[in-house]
Amino acid sequence: MCGICGFTGQVTECKQVIREMGTRITHRGPDSEGYYIENGISMGFRRLSIIDLEGGNQPIYNEDKTLVLTLNGEIYNYKQLREQLIKQNHVFKTETDSEVLVHGFEEWGEQLLPRLRGMFAFAIWNTVDKTLFIARDYFGIKPLYYTCLPDGRMIYASEIKCLTAHPDFTAEFNENVLDSYLSFQYVLPPETFFKGVYCLSPAHYMWVKDGKVSEHRYWQSMFNPDDNMTMTINEAVDEIERVFEDSVQAHRISDVEVGCFLSSGVDSSYVASYFAGHKAFTVGFDDGSHYNEIEYASNFASQTGLQHFTHIISGEEYWNALPDVLYYLDQPLADPSCVALYFVSKLASQHVKVVLSGEGADELFGGYRIYHEPFSLAAYQKLPRWLRRLLGSIVSVLPHFKGKSFIIRGSKTLEQRFIGNAYMFTQREKARLLKNVEATDPAMHVAKLYEQTKGQHDVTRMQYIDINSWMVGDILYKADRMSMAHSLELRVPFLDKEVFSVASRIPVKYRIAKGTTKYALRLAAKRRINNEAADKPKLGFPVPIRVWLRQKEYYDRVCAAFESDIARRFFYTDEIKRLLDEHYKGKKDNSRKIWTVYVFIVWYNIYF
């Protein structure tokens, strides 16, 4: 795992600038650094040594040095591709996976990308025709940001903080995305909180030449389920078992020790079942059993033969770490679990350089509880829509009662009620908060994704929304930043194109069935782990934000932020104070909304 950066064109002291950009991401690659500078391009690289420890330094070149490559990521099928390229008379000088890319690009050009199995963001400079080629992996596991200067020059990097080292880039706050952030709890890609800075979308590549940039998509995460039921449940489970075992073995390729994260859920337990005799890592909180499942994970580790390392995160430790977390994130992310991920990554980095984790299983195999909703609402939605809309309007102004949310959500179409796994503020609520930005309907931001899935089952459409927004903007974003903050490589075997090929064909009936989610995946997991772990309901990573915000110490801390100049600049402070006080007095659980605003204020103070 590594970090890359670079820029086209010239600046004064190119060497000094590219080195400073590299220094900004030393945490991504503390083992070595490398640079390439010629007329028209400056490329930087920070290395975390995982494969070919002695010979894998970058930049990497082809035989005649007409192609120059820097890579952030791992290519798991590089040995197979290497054999093919040797047969095509390519000459290799190292044993590293990165060299396969430069020869592969020389041989196949853009068609290299569909051949790859791995996580990656890489840049290749052609010294002959002065073109820059940049690509990002299928799911967006590895990040890549860029900005284009007015004169056509381009700057790119693994993290936004790199860009700020370039003398001709001025960081400016992009207030417009504050609107979507308040609804989604993350910045909806490809936009960022920095004006003119974008992230390259997953499964996309770019050509940069003569000041012009063209972007193209090379793969689509589209589901094609076998809903005609020619696939039996046993066949589905067999396919999952086969492809996942293959993926785990591929993801374990390394010249250093590999461990795993372990929560109490089926996803990480399934991964951990392949790690008997190796190290596993778990964190929890000291606020009751709901927020601390270390004992459960320890029991599983003992049964599986894992060396288990744990850490209890105190409230003070959690809150004090938030500024550091937000520095490494580059942008505000109001998912409370990202701080917990920061601590478990810190714990793991003290023992190993690489960990496997269970991200992606929920999105691919239908694991979130909200995916039950199309079934639970089905009978109610048989009522005429005008009647449901009338009922929804009436109950929306009534005090809270059991079933109120059901009636309101049932009055809406899927496109209106589901924007992804997180839905913090509605358009009406944002309008009461935002001073300078117009509040928009969150549904408009995912409308194009819904268009691409017309005619498919509601569960499949929800998964597609999550894969292309929630997973990119939240799940994988925090996984990359929090692990790399501690120079730890995090690998995600569920997010493998071969695994997706199987998951995309699983009928909806085998995803949501018998009152549970990920039904087929759980059956596959039961072939390796106990029923208790395989059947455990989806919890996410519970963090006691709700509890802490009813304690005076943390209430006062947030209150001070809500009364600050920054808060007054962007929000109607009476409204955000009302949310805080309402929660503190136990009248309503506003914890996630409060946290969303608070995280933004802390982040803004760090970067602007």
Q: Which residues are catalytic?
A: 5
Please give the C-alpha separations between residue 473 and each of 143, 187, 436, 467, 560, in angstroms, as whole numbers: 11, 6, 24, 10, 29
CA distance 71 to 430: 40
Full DSSP string of 54-119: TT--SSEE-TTS-EEEEEEEEETTHHHHHHHHHHTT---S---HHHHHHHHHHHHGGGGGGG--EE
DSSP state of 434: B
CA distance 29 to 488: 9
CA distance 552 to 466: 36
For residue 220, count other CB atoms closer than 10 A to its CB: 10
CA distance 413 to 441: 14
- Residue 289: which H helix or E strand, with range? none
Token look-up 């478990």 returns 344
Token look-up 């309008």 returns 431
Token look-up 């496997």 returns 356
The answer to whether 520 touches 233, Cβ cutoff 8 Å, is: yes
Query: Both tokens of residue 3?
Result: 């970090």
Half-sphere exposure of 229 (CA within 13 A, CB side): 2
Q: What string of H, E and C letters represents the secondary structure of 4-65?
A: EEEEECCCCCHHHHHHHHHHCCHHHCECEEEEEEECCEEEEEEECCCCCCCCCCCCEECCCC
CA distance 550 to 274: 41
CA distance 166 to 194: 14
First to last CA, the chain: 29
The answer to whether 545 touches 338, Cβ cutoff 8 Å, is: no
Give CA angle at 294 (484, 478), nearest 5°: 25
For residue 264, count other CB atoms closer than 10 A to its CB: 21
Which strands sit side by side in the sheet containing 154-157, from one edge to the other? Answer: 32-38, 41-47, 2-8, 154-157, 145-148, 197-199
Which strands sit side by side in the sheet containing 307-313, from one edge to the other? Answer: 307-313, 279-285, 258-261, 354-356, 489-491
Within 8 A by CB and 6+ apart from 234, the residues are none
Query: C-alpha 264: how far from its chain's center?
Result: 20
CA distance 603 to 608: 8
CA distance 272 to 533: 11
